[in-house]
Structures are given as C-alpha cells and as structure tokens.
Amino acid sequence: MDAQEKLGIEYALRNNLKIVKTWRVQESAWSNKKARTAFIQMIEYAKKHTEVKNIIFDITDRMTRNDFDKMKIIDLIQEFDKTIHFSRSNKIYNKQSGSDDMFMLDIEVAVAKKTSNDISRKSQMGMMEKAEQEFYPSTAPYGYRNNKATRLIEIKPESTPFILNAFEQMATGNYSINMLRDWLFANGFKSKTGKKICKSALVKVLTNPIYCGDFRWKGKIYSGSHEPIISKQLFDAVQNVLARKSKTYKSRKDFAFANLLFCGDCGCKVLGEEKKKRYVYYHCSFSKGRHNGIGYVPENRLAEMFEDSVIKVTLSEEKADWLKEAFKERHKNTFQTAQNRLLRLQTEYNQTNTRLSKLYDLKLDGGIPEEIFKTKEAEYQTALINLKHQLATIEKANPNFLEDASKILELSKSLYSLYVKANYQEKAHLLKLIASNYQLNDVSICPIYRKPFSFIAEGLLCPRKLPSHPQNPNFLYEIILGLTNAKDGDRWVIFN
C-alpha cells in the first residue's frame, strides 16, 4: 500500500493534479456490492463533488475484479464526466476514449477476474488438502488460536473454562440456551463488547465438533490432529440435549423441584406454583392442552414420592463391600486388557489408513469410478474417525477410576439418609445427581437414572444372592463393568 500511494502521489505531481482525498484501505477488489465500503464511499464522493474530475488507481485489478463495480466506474466516466487514471501503467480513460480503449479496459478487468478465480481455486484446493491431512484449514474458532509458526491451531488457555462450563452445564439438561447465556454471564463470561454472548454464537459453539477433536469442512466431518477441549462423550451428550428441543421453563420464583419432572400423561414440564404466599404445589404446564389425571401435588408430598427413586440406588453395607472387593479383583486384569485393545485398534487404524491411501492412488490413476470412490472414501473416513475416538478413549482412561468407583459406592450407601436429612433445595441437587429426568404419574415417580446409578438400580432388582466369589456370573457384576467404563461425560456429572 505504501508503494501504491507513493506512485499515485508522483503521478499526480507529474500531471499537475491536486489530491483532495485519499482512500487507503485493505479491501478485496474481488468483493462486490456492500462488501467494498471504501470503494462505495469513493464513488459517492466523486458523484457529489463535481469539481473533482480525476480519480487515480494503481492498476486495473486494484480498481475492480468484478463486473458489478466496473459498471460503476463506466457510469462515472459517461454520466459524471470523470477521468480514470492508472498510475503504474499511465493509462487514462474518459469520455473521449475510443471503443478500442474501452474494450482493452474490459479485457483487463476480465483478466484480473480470472486471476482472482485461479488464486481462489488454488487456495481452496490447498485448504482441502490440509483438511484431508487432519489439520484445521481456516481461522481458529473461539477457544483456539492460529499459530503462525506451525500454521496449525492451538488451545487458548484463558478461553478453556468458558468452553468446558458451557458444555457441562448444557449436558445436564437443566438449561435452555437463554438460561445458559444468563448463567455464563453471571459467571464472568462476556462478549467482546462486555455483553452476554448472543444466542446464535452460543449455539454455534455448542454444535461445533472442533471442541472434541473433529472439525467440519465443506459439509464433511474430519478427524482433527489438534488438541480437544472436551471429550466426545460430553459433546454427544450436549447434542442429545439440543436435539430434544424441549423448552426449559424458568419460574419467577426458584422452586426446588422445577425442571426435574415431566408429566406422565402428556410429556410436558411439571412446574411449581405458590398459593397464598406460603404453600407450594407442582402441576403439569398443560402446554399441549388441559387434561385429566395428575392434579396439584404439594411440595412435601412430592419430596416423599421421590424417596423411592433414591432408595432404589442406595446400597446396603454388605453389597457395597462386596462390590469393592469385586472391583479390586477386576482391576488386576484391566491394564492388560486395555493394552491388548489398544494394539488391536492401532492395527485396524493403520490398515484402514493404508486402504484409504490405495484408494486415492486408484483415483489418480483413473482406475475407479467416481461414484464408487466417493462411497469408499466416506466409508474409510468414518471408520478412521471412529477408531481415533476409541483410541483416544483408551489413551485418556481415568487413572483414578478405582478411587472414583469407591467414592460412588460410598455415596450410594448413604444416599437415602442424606436425602431424608436434606432441605428441598439439597434434595433437588441430590436427585439431579442420580437421574437426568423424572416422570410424574398419578401416585408415583419414574426416574431415568444416570450412569453408573442405572447399573446399581438394575443390580438391586436382581433376585440372585451375592456370589461367594466376585468372578462368579451375577448381574451385580454389571455394576462393576458400568463403574469401570463410565464415560467422561457421566463422571463429571457425578463428582461435580
């Protein structure tokens, strides 16, 4: 830009032209319409100031590379009697220019347009090649930054808490997008202007697979080589919550059991309501229309109805101790099993990657039809992504899972006693810990337990007696498997 401005000033001096206004901006001459703000300002300025008769550009492709803006320049020449100068080539176009001159201007704009198209096409090809190599090829999204040295993206540590909290809170199922915006703002997360993050930007974050290690490019999902911020399990949990599209209600008063229950008759939310400023009742929101059946349930009665859900996942001292011993026994063989599985997955990943490379070679040699190539390419890419996630799961296995499981078992022994002693708000927190949703029927509540409490509930329903040895077949052993293989997305729910 310095060189262009210098040439323009020297050209004006040589031709006795006085410079009254200069536009020095970084705008693409390819963009059209509203994208070229400074170009439009220059056109309007020239039209308004009749005393301005000359406009200087560096060369043709600095003026425009599209037909839309070229017509604006032609209009300045024909309708407003302006003279267009190009300082580098010393060419001039005005009303007196012949048809051959205007024809050459058309050719120069066309050549500039083609050059721009070629650059764009090569750039897109380069970005696609980068994506195929599992590198994110564009500007880093929020939470990451572009490393100019490596030309890769890397995590911005100061943004990580925002990403983690946004996904973790949404995964609980207790927030709508607007409620999550409020929660994040209250916890210090603001936009660049100091306001709440806008709804569309938050949705864009929550649906972007880049945060779990993948990325979306040109309609395809690629397995990325960058460091993920969250686990794939947590990302999938958030997608499931968003897919439900159920509206989360926020009452004017903070009722303890709000956003916990669904109506067993119509599936609508069960809301709290205060009567006479002292009595709290819960009832269906009737969003789908009024119906008979579930009436107004007093808060104290509702708390009692929840007790059965807590009892079902409360372990006796005998069962908890047996599970601890069985878990220790299983832990002895866990490491070797994980290593064997890791080796098998790595072998399968390398084989699939080799097949994909051979497929590309066939494509380059013209030895495979396009339709078959696309089908097999998609098949291999999907397989590689799945295998990569399985490998990541093994490599990032929780080293403290034995300790975690012991904590869960200890918690499960005292769940019911804790629930009975707690106030309504504490009861609600405990209920959210063990189950994701509850269905309210006329006289009972049906929970949807979170893992691993779902395994505990199933084990306690098993009629078989405890085995004398932890390796004997028994349905309770499934509880151990569930605790061992609990996903990251489940683990943070339990211990947060």
Please write the tens of the pLDDT for every residue from 468-484.
Answer: 333 333 444 444 444 44
Tell me whether residue 199 is in a domain: yes
Residue 200: inside a domain, yes or no?
A: yes
Are 391 and 416 found together in one domain? no
Shared domain for 227 and 272, answered yes or no, is: no
CATH no. for residue 84? 3.40.50.1390
Residues 242 and 173 sit within 8 Å (Cβ to Cβ): no
Q: Taking residues 161-183, what's their average pLDDT?
A: 86
**Token pair belonging to 337:** 């099993």
Please tell me whether residues 268 and 360 are part of one structural domain: no
Would the CA dihedral through 381, 383, 389, 394 be positive or negative?
A: negative
Residues 285 and 196 in one domain: no
Q: Identify whether 320 is part of a domain.
A: no
Same domain, 267 and 390: no
pLDDT: which is higher, 204 or 450 = 204
Domain assignment present for residue 354? The answer is yes
Question: What would the two tokens of residue 447 be?
Answer: 């929970």
Q: In this predicted structure, which of 146-155, 344-353, 362-371, 393-402 has the lowest mean pLDDT?
A: 393-402
pLDDT tops 60 at residue 496: no
pLDDT of residue 400: 60
And the tokens for 458?
């199933």
Estimate the crossing angle of helix 160-171 against helix 199-206, to 10 degrees.
80
Q: Would 256 be classed as within a structural domain?
A: no
Calpha distance 206→198 (Å, rounded): 13
Structural domain that includes position 408: 261-315+404-495
3-state helix, strand, coil in the chain (%, to 5): 55, 10, 35
Q: Report the C-alpha gap between 215 and 235 in whole angstroms.
A: 13
Q: Give the chain's domain count.
A: 4
Q: Omega into 447 within 30° of 0, i.e. cis?
A: no
**Out of 175-179, 324-328, 488-492, least confident range:** 488-492
Predicted local confidence at residue 468, as pLDDT: 39
Co-location of 421 and 297 in the same domain? yes
Is residue 19 assigned to a domain? Answer: yes
Same domain flag for 50 and 10: yes
Between residues 378 and 463, the one the model is more confident about: 378
Give me the CATH number covering residue 203: 3.90.1750.20
**In the predicted structure, residue 49 carries a pLDDT above the cut 70:** yes
Q: How confident is the model at residue 489 (pLDDT cuts 50, 70, 90)?
A: very low
DSSP 453: H
Q: What is the mean pLDDT of residues 351-363?
A: 86
pLDDT of residue 173: 78
Mean pLDDT, to the nearest integer, of 198-204? 88
Length of the chain: 496
- With cut-offs at 50, 70 and 90, classify the pLDDT of residue 211: very high
CA dist 190 and 198 (Å) reads 10
CB of 171 closer than 8 Å to CB of 493: yes
Q: Are residues 363 and 471 in the same domain?
A: no
Is 321 among the domain residues? no
112 and 35 together in one domain:
yes
> Could you report the per-residue pLDDT of 431-445, keeping only the tens digit for each?
988 888 899 887 789
* 252 domain residue, yes or no: no
Radius of gyration of the chain (CA): 33
Do both 182 and 224 map to the same domain?
yes
Structure tokens at 135: 């590198």
Q: pTM for this one?
A: 0.40
Residue 100: count other Cβ atoms within 10 Å of its Cβ: 8
Highest mean pLDDT among 15-24, 170-179, 332-341: 15-24
